[in-house]
Structure 1
Amino acid sequence: MHARPFPGANRPNVLAAAVATAIAVQLSPTALAAELEEITVTAQKRTERITEVPIAITNVGAEAIKQTGVRQVREVAQFVPNLNISSGTDFTTTVTMRGVGSDSRNIGFDTRVGVYLDGVYLGQSPAINQDLVDLERIEVLRGPQGTLFGKNTVAGAINLISQKPSDEFSGSVGVEYGSMNSRQLSATLNAPLSKSLFSKISVNRQQRDGYIRNLTTGNLLNEQDGSAYRAQLMYDAGGAFNAILAVDGMESDRLSTTGEAVTNPFGTGPDTGAPEMHQVAMNVDPREEREIRGAALTMEWNLPSDFTLRSITSSRDTEMTYNNDTDYSPYPLVEITYTDSYAQQTQEFQLVSPGADDFNYVAGLYLYQQEGDSYREVTSSKFFEDLLQAQYGAPGLVNPDSPVVSAGIVDTSSIAAYINGSYQLTDAWKLGFGLRYSEEQKEVDWAIDGSGAPLFGTATGTVRDDRTDSHLSPTVSINYALSEEANVYGKYSGGFKSGGYNLDFVAAGDLVAGTDFDKETVDAFEIGLKGTAFSRQFSYSLALFQSNYDDYQVNQFVDLGQGATSISIRNAAEVETRGLEAEITWLASDNLTINASMGLLDAEFASYPNADANGSDLSGNQLPNAPETSFNLGGQYYLPINSIGADLLLRLDYIFRDSFYNTAENESKRTLANGDTVQFGQVDAYHLVNARIGLESHADSWNAALFVHNLTDEEYMVNTSRDFLGTLRHFYGLERTAGIELEYRF
């Protein structure tokens, strides 16, 4: 391990300052009437108090989702330490946890953070960023979750848990209107159909104008236009059997953003077509069409021996079409169209032991089947052909009548068996254990034809292959109860990310060398402290972690010169991440709640020789998308106004993200051929402030609120990127937005 300072050691400790400020406000010597609600989670597939679970978990409840204005999965990251979710295109949503994530548009490349809906895996990147429709809570589990969740959770897991039907007739209608002509309509209806059959339906419609002006077409990009729904039918007669059938889906068709070009198409000079921020000059508007459908049947049998048998059967389909002017210019040079689809089926059986015994466990069998289908096309134009011939004096560098095409299918089948449990050694000591054996097979039938564009250096050929990965993922923990309200734990866990295939626009040499890459593995160590204090008016959690990755899979653009690009996935040697996470919630009075969270992170390539064609050694470089410090501070105050039968709510949130690199090379700027320099490869630190003021009825029948996001109107960047021909691009966050929301409940 490199002897580097602990992350954040040489900067002001913002969490310490916040905690010191909070402690400086004298706690009342008399017990307050209110106390924090006890939080239970199902991270280990059984209901447990969050303070007793040896996992670094952030629980975002329904009230927090509502009051912070979180609308989509990617927005949750603002309130979770060491979690980063990319903004922009939904086609390649990247979730990074503790510095580790997957940035790829490749059907042969899996995620490192699994996202689940009621325990069902949502799948690849296009299915991740969903609207948050009628959720009970979000559980964010940091660190490898291989024993219970399986493959592709080497960095962590996010579980979205929906509100279930109940035996009361109830419902709600909500509307929202705000900046950029944003509109949202949501509704829920809970209807008991009999004494044992209950139903619930939830719908959401969200629209917003774009804010990036395409000077060529006149349209506004990065708009929102989507619908989502969830319908549930639950059977519960109070006996030994209960079941719930859930169907969900979403549709989105929008002009998206693929960034704002800061160079010409080949990255050799500045972009002169749209020099201002929030402007582009593209002859084709980027567009995304996304449709997601899912169904799950969960059945439970309470056996006479007090064991519980659970079955979860699911089917999910995702279809995505993405179109972009990949030269980012007003001229018809190069255009791309991707059409990907994923169809998956899963079956899981769980046997849950009685909860009253000293020896508790969950044993399970998991089956997974997915077919990924991809068709991708790069087309050029006669204008581009003539331009290249004039510049290079050679005809046929691109052929407008012969697009570059890649197409194929990846079939994935996996089976896993696991057990996870604990044994109460004494009143204070508890031993945790887990083991999962996984076996996965991938079959690929894929072809690429780059013969129509020699300029790009793209391969021509086919790949018909199969590979099998197997892995044993263990976990062991020891938990010591300092008191009834405080626990300290130590934990080791292992996991793996399956191998796969580089099925993108690869160079001829990469195709000859082989497109497959090996699985990666992780060994992670963590110690933590969780608990409550001051008569349950103060809750806290602290985790220190170290994770070591072997055969880490890296996805990156390789510049072949003269506009030629290869997209390569390879196994880097070693990656190390370490850091700290802390979260507190303080009920300072009956009416005032303060919360804070902080993540400190040091994520690096411990060994990465021969990282590119030039033999560069990137050992010691920071991982992309891994800010050293992330921080959130929030306060919420209720003021009763009895004359109108309502509470006045005031909420303020402060969010900080440290600077971070986008590339393994750790660039911060790029010098162009004309001598100009542009920012590339590094995102600067930024600060955001969100505010909310509202009224909530004492009868819980209505609420109204005004909100502002990015109150200080900070201009901030969230990403930089390079595209197919070499164009350098910037992605910016939203400017200040405000709105009003109304909700009626019955």
Structure 2
Amino acid sequence: MHPIYVRPVVAVCAIALATPVAAQESALPGSNSEASSPSTESATASDDDIILVNARRRSESAQQVPIAISVIGGRKLDDLGAFNVQRLQQISPSLNFFSSNPRNTAVNIRGIGVPFGLTNDGFDQGVGLYVDDVYFSRIASATLDFLDVAQIEVLRGPQGTLYGKNTTAGAINITTRRPTFTFEGRGELSVGNLGFTQAKASISGPVSDTVAARFALSSTDRRGTIFNTTSGNYINEQDNLGLRAQVLWEPADNLEVLLAGDYTDQNPECCAQIYVGTGLTQRPLNRQYAALAAAQNYQVPSENPFDRVTDVDANLNARNRIGGVSLRAQLDTAFGTLTSITAWRAWDWLPENDRDFTGLPITIRSQNPSQQDQWTQEFRFSHEGDRIGFLLGAFAFEQKVRTQGTQEQGPAASRWLLNPSSPLADDPTVLDGLTATNDIQLNNTSLALFGQLTWKVTDSLSLQPGFRVNYDRKKGLYESVVTNGDGQLVTSAETDPRIVAQRGVLAPQRFEPEFSDWNFSYDLTASYQLTDDILAYATYAKTFKPGGINLNGVPTDAAGSPILAVGSVRPETVNHYEAGLKTQFAARVATLNLSLFRTDIDDYQAQVVNGQLGVLRGYLANAEKVRTQGAEFDFEIRPSERFNAYLGGAFTDATYLRFTDAPCPPELSGGTTVGTGQTPGGAGVPGSLSPANCDISGEQLPGVSKWSITAGLEGSLPLSLLARAGELYLGMDGSWRARLSSNPTPSAYTWIEGYALANLRFGFRNDDGLNAFVWVRNVLDEDYFEQLAVPSGNTGLIVGQPADPRTYGLTLAYEF
């Protein structure tokens, strides 16, 4: 275990944080030098309400950046209760977040990013997560609480020519507050229903004339939203602790060095997906869920998932520890700015799950502890001239991941997991005690040179060509050793019928996949300043997503050997087109930004489900062609300091243009695989023949709604309280998303219906930094699912995650 993983014992005494302001009031004060600082204090905007961003690795107005970008200030995050990426999607309509546990998490932008619903260490993210310029390779980081955040930028579209790690869908750029040379402090304490408590505090100030330090912490606890009748506990709870420390050294006017360290510990009893319903498959009717449950006299505690009751009987754990150290040095010279960012990050994941999602002893143990070490080094040099500016960068990334998996079947497994035609399916001893012990390893290296030139052809017209040269290498190991309940080794050579049946459920495998490749990518952006307040831009990007390797097991041939041809997957090839308009009008009271986009992807990395009954998880493969296209808008108006409102929307048409060898939905699975000259049965017809694969060309990609809208407003009235000038305010925000598919192949059983959410806050704040407000989230107590899933075995069981019910509470905040 890493030495950072010693959980500190802290007592959090907190009042105070966050004066609610709209995103358009958040500013990042900085110099004209590249990236000015990894973070700066969120503050009220200037008279022109300019929002400064670091999207292009230099401080500039968001309205002058020819990129589709959403900017959310730290204070707005606090106001809206958006303390992690999952809540962030409620105010960023193009962002999609899905998580059944921290490791199995997907963050997508415009419908693309990572294969939906797939846990596999061997592929790259399409959405980059950066905190103070440091790349977080583990998407589990996206489940962490935001800690002392000044601003978040959600960049849409490829970002490979400006950022260290290549990302094809976009980037989430998080900027934390930096140390200050004036003494300040802030804190916040919130309490609410479901036992919710959250405390945040930070303090910053000078250590000497050249050294400043900042320390921040946060703690979040909440009772689980689902009651487990087996354990008597509420599960899917929150139990998070975060710490962050920074030391800033400024020995000269042109040099600064920032040392930062952070640690996060999550230790909830989590994460369970619960019974939602059933749907007929092509398995024999007496081997589908209803018949199997009746044969074992099993009844779920409730068939209404929004009763939020389950009876899962395996241990649950989602211990997630993440931490790291970074050193950022920036030197301003007469010609430009040189920046170096050195970082090490570690991740320790200790999960336990119930993979059968019921109270039956089918899978009685499922755990895949994983540890990661990551090292990154980035150098950037930037120059800004009257007509010519440029940024040149070099990036090195080294990652090691080690995973130890254990899965054990119980006495009920035979009926549920063996082939329905097997004469052993009614013998509970066949699978009882069957155990797979896995060793999974990944060594991942990525090296890159990248850059972008800015040429101001005229005072109005700018051209920005960019390039990236990338080398990626992945080497892995997957080894699964299987033993049965009698202690016998299950091998691929054994012909005993019991052993044959056992390895059909947990197959022994060993293979060492590899991938390496060079890639060259480029982009070109043209922007034209039509007036002082209207910017038009257009972008073309030819980019890629690195190839990957499968580290969850692969199909086997007739001899039981792994099919090595599917051990690796090809890189995605991406052609991206975008045009946009950024406008302000009515004396800059109103802002309206528009964008149109189209992204074509060849060899899209998608999830494929192995047709063998015992493979519980899918593997990675290439779909022939995917396209996402659509339109987005962001509108904000601030007619006075007493009122502001915003409205944002996205239309996203994300489609498999061609995927002829896709996994079939559950209604076309579970029967005997169709042979030569045979015809598959109809969808949901028990006992019929099943196709080996399905052509889903033209179907919608999973995890994305075609339409999504976010909106909000806040109004205030002046009020003096206890002789202190202040204001009474009321804020409302909401979001709506159309229905979306929650299965890699669209299924009639796994569509999540559209839903609308509304939130309220009402409070008082004064000029002395005091802020007190009550809040209600999901005011209408909307019942909706965050995710639906189809367990293995094709029994027709559908499980899911009910989202949070209505929550409410009180926040007290203070800053000085």
Tell me the TM-score normalised to structure 2 length: 0.82
Identity between Structure 1 and Structure 2 (%): 27
> Which residues in structure 2 correspond to 1:47-62 (within 5 Å)?
47-62=59-74
Alignment partner of 2:700 out of 622, 639, 646: 622
Match of 2:774 in 1: 706
Deviations along 1:677-702, whole A, 9 cap, x unmatched?
Answer: xxxx2110000100001111112x21
Cα deviation for residue 390 of structure 1 reads 13
Cα deviation for residue 400 of structure 1 reads 4.5
Cα deviation for residue 154 of structure 1 reads 1.1
Cα deviation for residue 535 of structure 1 reads 1.6
Question: Matched residues in 2 for 1:528 and 1:480: separation?
Answer: 11
Alignment partner of 2:516 out of 455, 468, 477: 468
> Which residues in structure 2 correspond to 1:157-196 (within 5 Å)?
157-196=171-210
Cα deviation for residue 568 of structure 1 reads 2.3
Asked if the contact 1:559/1:566 (under 8 Å) is kept, the reply is no
The answer on 1:683 being equivalent to 2:752 is yes
Match of 2:530 in 1: 482
Tell me how large the CA RMSD over aligned residues is: 2.3
Q: Name which of structure 1's ranges 383-392 and 151-160 shifts more when overlaid on structure 2.
A: 383-392
Change beyond 3 A, Cα 1:389–1:207: closer
Asked if the contact 1:460/1:508 (under 8 Å) is kept, the reply is no
Match of 2:761 in 1: 692
Match of 1:340 in 2: 370
Question: Matched residues in 2 for 1:625 and 1:175: separation?
Answer: 34
Asked if the contact 2:417/2:505 (under 8 Å) is kept, the reply is no
Deviations along 1:656-675, whole A, 9 cap, x unmatched?
Answer: 01101122432122xxxxxx
Cα deviation for residue 465 of structure 1 reads 3.9
Change beyond 3 A, Cα 1:538–1:35: farther
Match of 2:474 in 1: 442
The answer on 1:640 being equivalent to 2:708 is no
Match of 2:681 in 1: none
Q: How many pairs were matched up? A: 699
Cα deviation for residue 588 of structure 1 reads 2.4
Match of 1:728 in 2: 798
Amino acid at match of 2:67: I
Cα deviation for residue 399 of structure 1 reads 4.7
Alignment partner of 2:272 out of 246, 258, 277: 258
Asked if the contact 1:203/1:228 (under 8 Å) is kept, the reply is yes
Asked if the contact 1:621/1:664 (under 8 Å) is kept, the reply is no
The answer on 1:568 being equivalent to 2:616 is no
Secondary structure of the structure 1 residue equivalent to 2:162: helix
The answer on 1:745 being equivalent to 2:796 is no
Match of 1:409 in 2: 441
Alignment partner of 1:544 out of 585, 596, 614: 596
Match of 1:586 in 2: 637
Change beyond 3 A, Cα 1:87–1:179: farther
Cα deviation for residue 338 of structure 1 reads 1.0
Alignment partner of 2:391 out of 355, 362, 387: 362
Change beyond 3 A, Cα 1:483–1:120: same
Amino acid at match of 1:728: I
The answer on 1:310 being equivalent to 2:342 is no
Cα deviation for residue 82 of structure 1 reads 1.4
Change beyond 3 A, Cα 1:663–1:170: same
Match of 1:530 in 2: 582
Match of 2:13 in 1: none
Question: Matched residues in 2 for 1:55 and 1:450: separation?
Answer: 51
Q: Name which of structure 1's ranges 264-273 and 338-347 shifts more when overlaid on structure 2.
A: 264-273
Task: Give unmatched runs, 5+ long, in structure 2.
Answer: 1-44, 280-286, 485-500, 664-690
Tell me the TM-score normalised to structure 1 length: 0.90
Q: Name which of structure 1's ranges 140-149 and 258-267 shifts more when overlaid on structure 2.
A: 258-267
Asked if the contact 1:151/1:496 (under 8 Å) is kept, the reply is no
Question: Matched residues in 2 for 1:465 and 1:540: separation?
Answer: 49
Q: Name which of structure 1's ranges 131-140 and 253-262 shifts more when overlaid on structure 2.
A: 253-262
Question: Matched residues in 1 for 2:264 and 2:465: separation?
Answer: 38
> Which residues in structure 2 correspond to 1:99-498 (within 5 Å)?
99-102=111-114, 103=116, 104-149=118-163, 151=165, 153-262=167-276, 268-269=289-290, 272-275=299-302, 276-277=304-305, 278-303=308-333, 305-334=334-363, 335-353=365-383, 355-382=384-411, 384=413, 392-394=422-424, 398-450=430-482, 452=484, 454=502, 456-498=504-546
Amino acid at match of 1:274: P
Asked if the contact 1:373/1:410 (under 8 Å) is kept, the reply is yes
Secondary structure of the structure 1 residue equivalent to 2:640: coil
Match of 1:500 in 2: 548
Cα deviation for residue 264 of structure 1 reads 7.9
Question: Matched residues in 1 for 2:466 and 2:372: separation?
Answer: 31
Cα deviation for residue 388 of structure 1 reads 8.0
Secondary structure of the structure 2 residue equivalent to 1:480: strand
Amino acid at match of 1:734: D
Deviations along 1:413-448, whole A, 9 cap, x unmatched?
Answer: 111001112100011110011001000111112212
Question: Matched residues in 1 for 2:693 and 2:197: separation?
Answer: 52
Cα deviation for residue 68 of structure 1 reads 1.1
Deviations along 1:626-673, whole A, 9 cap, x unmatched?
Answer: 10011011001121113542211210012101101122432122xxxx
Cα deviation for residue 267 of structure 1 reads 5.9
Cα deviation for residue 199 of structure 1 reads 0.2
Amino acid at match of 2:144: Q
Secondary structure of the structure 1 residue equivalent to 2:89: helix
Cα deviation for residue 34 of structure 1 reads 9.6
Secondary structure of the structure 1 residue equivalent to 2:172: strand
Secondary structure of the structure 2 residue equivalent to 1:351: strand
Amino acid at match of 1:464: E
Q: Name which of structure 1's ranges 231-240 and 444-453 shifts more when overlaid on structure 2.
A: 444-453
Deviations along 1:375-402, whole A, 9 cap, x unmatched?
Answer: 1111123464699899854269855455
Amino acid at match of 2:179: P
Question: Matched residues in 1 for 2:124 and 2:370: separation?
Answer: 14
Secondary structure of the structure 1 residue equivalent to 2:711: strand
Amino acid at match of 1:40: L
The answer on 1:42 being equivalent to 2:111 is no
Q: Name which of structure 1's ranges 727-736 and 624-633 shifts more when overlaid on structure 2.
A: 727-736
Asked if the contact 1:146/1:494 (under 8 Å) is kept, the reply is no
Secondary structure of the structure 2 residue equivalent to 1:372: strand
Amino acid at match of 1:117: V
Alignment partner of 1:597 out of 648, 661, 664: 648
Question: Matched residues in 2 for 1:388 and 1:725: separation?
Answer: 5
Change beyond 3 A, Cα 1:267–1:249: farther
Cα deviation for residue 286 of structure 1 reads 2.3
Secondary structure of the structure 2 residue equivalent to 1:146: coil
Asked if the contact 2:362/2:416 (under 8 Å) is kept, the reply is no
Amino acid at match of 1:348: E
Secondary structure of the structure 2 residue equivalent to 1:704: strand
Match of 1:83 in 2: 95
Match of 1:17 in 2: none
Deviations along 1:547-604, whole A, 9 cap, x unmatched?
Answer: 000100111434435x654522110000011000100110022210011100001010
> Which residues in structure 2 correspond to 1:23-38 (within 5 Å)?
37-38=49-50
Question: Matched residues in 1 for 2:530 and 2:328: separation?
Answer: 37
Task: Give unmatched runs, 5+ long, in structure 1.
Answer: 1-32, 670-680
Asked if the contact 2:514/2:568 (under 8 Å) is kept, the reply is no
Asked if the contact 2:611/2:692 (under 8 Å) is kept, the reply is no
Amino acid at match of 1:735: P
Question: Matched residues in 2 for 1:555 and 1:131: separation?
Answer: 29
Question: Matched residues in 2 for 1:465 and 1:556: separation?
Answer: 17
